[in-house]
Chain A
Amino acid sequence: MKEVSIPSGANLTAIYRELVGDYPKFFKMDTLSKLGFLLSEMLVRDDEGRFTPREDRAVIVFSRNGCLANDINYAKSMEDFPSPALFVYTLPNIVAGEISIRNKYEGETSAYVLDKYDRPLIDAIVRQAFQDRITRDAIVAWIDCPSDSEWTATAWIKTK
């Protein structure tokens, strides 16, 4: 099973330029979404028939802190003018939506928050997700970024 990760504090813009380069929406994303987007690119960039709409791939994102880093940024903006561009990223599942939009994944997308990186529990939840009658595989990610400069970010594809 291919597993990819992005080291804490890495230059995400540099990775984006090397890996993608032509998806300017990247620059609007919060750190959590940038990490998820780049991890998914690493996993699926060579997929055959990529960008053809499909319903059989799920995107399941786990973390401890959800979108806390961006919550803090939005809360700061509230002191002046609340920023709609920041507010839309104040949900832990937006990263899964970004991956879906990029790749036209029309299947299940979910965000879970767990107390710690508990791989057996993550594996169990992903196994249960295959109870869906159409889902055949899933992009699974653990992305925990309590701040915009520190994180753990790893992802893999699990097949039914």
Chain B
Amino acid sequence: MTKVYCIGNGLVTPVGSTALEVLQAAREGRSRRLFERGAFYGASFFEEIAIEAAKKATEGIEITPHTGFVLSTTKGDIEHIGKADISLAAGAGRIAGTIGITTSPIVVSNACISGIAALLQGVRMIRSGEYDNVVVVGAEVCSEFIHSGFDCLKALSPEPCRPFDKDRRGLNLGEAAAALVLSAREGPWEISDGVIRNDANHISGPSRTGEGSYKCLRYVLEGINKEDIAFISVHGTATPYNDEMESIALYRAGLSDVPVNALKGNFGHTLGAAGILESIVSMAAFDSGIVLPTKGFHELGVSYPVNVSAKERPAKGKLFIKLLSGFGGVNGAMVFRKGGAL
């Protein structure tokens, strides 16, 4: 089967505008979730950060008539509901058009696993042989719409979030744009596997048995040696239910002793951008030989053992796994393997 590589990345986040900047902020424990909007202008802040991330990721990469485009977002331009055409398809068309892409844009809106789902779509497009490369962009901006929704679900933490901690009280919302360019041309990182599974249990609560997340882990473990896993970058929203569920899934998959981290304490939960942003930061961490600390974590507060730490640790292995879960019962896992060309 065709190997698929990441050949370019781009980030627009409140804590840094390159992978190394965001990595450095995470190592120093600096966190920031929201942009200062003053730096931007125009009709759509959402589209602007998505375009900026896509431009950075495609620097030096040729956009051809066979370049694909996949946008990952949950709510796109929802802050303009009632005032403009906020359809995700129209937004994706403008973003793709601005960077010169002529193929039909595809939007993946699969709740909080959108980032992995969009990357998986991109991987499949490369493997289909019909695309030269695929630009995958994840973007999310904070709006009153999203904030009020998570607030009425009582999912928001009144303090900085604390993934896997015994005193965790919920999530913090963040905003960011992150992009990866995928290609069959060899690059520094290979996406060697990816999967989506449903809990078939509840639309807004995770499975008590971690069913879908466990099935995702079981699926990707078929193709790798456990000893090669440097770390697992889990979803770790810091809601009581999510982190508990992930501890069960990891335990069932026999991964309780593998180093785990959650990055939501560094830049919040960036929803549709999370999968791509957290993957890019994890690649940078691995390349620096480290497992990033889990900011906000102090004392384990889940039922099953999880190898999570408030301190930076050395990364040993050949790959990392990105794990996500979301509303609608969806779960996703993706394997990033250090590839040939450096």
Contact = CB atoms under 8 A, between A and B. Distances in A.
A106 interface: yes
Interface in A65-92: 65-66, 68, 71-72, 74-75, 78, 81-84, 87-92
B145 A78 contact: yes
B106 A91 contact: no
Interface residues of A, number: 54
Given A106-B215, A128-B125, A134-B219, A92 B109 contact: yes
Interface string B91-132: 011000000000011111111000001000100110110100
Contacts of B329: 97, 100-101, 109
Contacts of A128: 121, 124-125, 127-128
A70 B258 CA distance: 41
B200 A53 contact: yes
Interface in B287-311: none
Contacts of B148: 78, 82, 87
A1 B81 CA distance: 38
Given A68-B87, A128-B124, A83 B106 contact: no
A11 to B, nearest CB: 24
Given A55-B215, A121-B104, A110 B203 contact: no
B110 A114 contact: no
Contacts, number: 154
Interface in A91-129: 91-94, 96-98, 100-101, 103-116, 118, 121, 124-125, 127-129
Given A110-B117, A113-B88, A84 B108 contact: no
With most chain A CB atoms within 10 A of its CB, the pick from B92, B144, B195 is B195
A98 B203 contact: yes
B247 interface: no
A74 B149 contact: yes
Given A66-B88, A87-B149, A114-B106, A109 B198 contact: yes
Contacts of B204: 88
Given A75-B81, A78-B145, A93 B328 contact: yes
B184 to A, nearest CB: 14
Contacts of B219: 133-134
A150 interface: no
A92 B88 CA distance: 11
A158 interface: no
With most chain A CB atoms within 10 A of its CB, the pick from B109, B110, B200 is B200
Contacts of B108: 110-113
B151 interface: yes
A24 to B, nearest CB: 15
Given A83-B152, A108-B198, A110-B117, A93 B109 contact: yes
Contact of B109 (A75, A91, A106, A125): A91
Contacts of A112: 106-109
A136 interface: no
A91 B327 contact: yes
A92 B202 CA distance: 15
Given A88-B203, A110-B117, A64 B111 contact: no
Contacts of B86: 68
A101 B152 contact: no
A132 interface: yes
Contacts of A132: 195
Interface in A49-70: 53, 55, 59, 64-66, 68
A104 B38 CA distance: 48
Interface in B53-111: 74-75, 78, 81-82, 86-90, 92-93, 104-111
Given A74-B149, A91-B111, A114-B89, A108 B328 contact: no
Contacts of A113: 87-89, 92, 107-109
Nearest to A91: B111
B145 A75 contact: yes
Contacts of B195: 108, 132
23 contacts: A55-B197, A59-B198, A71-B145, A75-B81, A81-B152, A82-B151, A84-B153, A88-B153, A90-B75, A96-B198, A97-B327, A97-B328, A100-B198, A101-B200, A101-B201, A104-B200, A105-B200, A109-B328, A110-B117, A115-B104, A115-B105, A127-B128, A128-B121
Interface of B: 74-75, 78, 81-82, 86-90, 92-93, 104-111, 117, 121, 124-125, 127-128, 130, 144-145, 148-149, 151-153, 195-204, 211-212, 215, 219, 222, 326-330
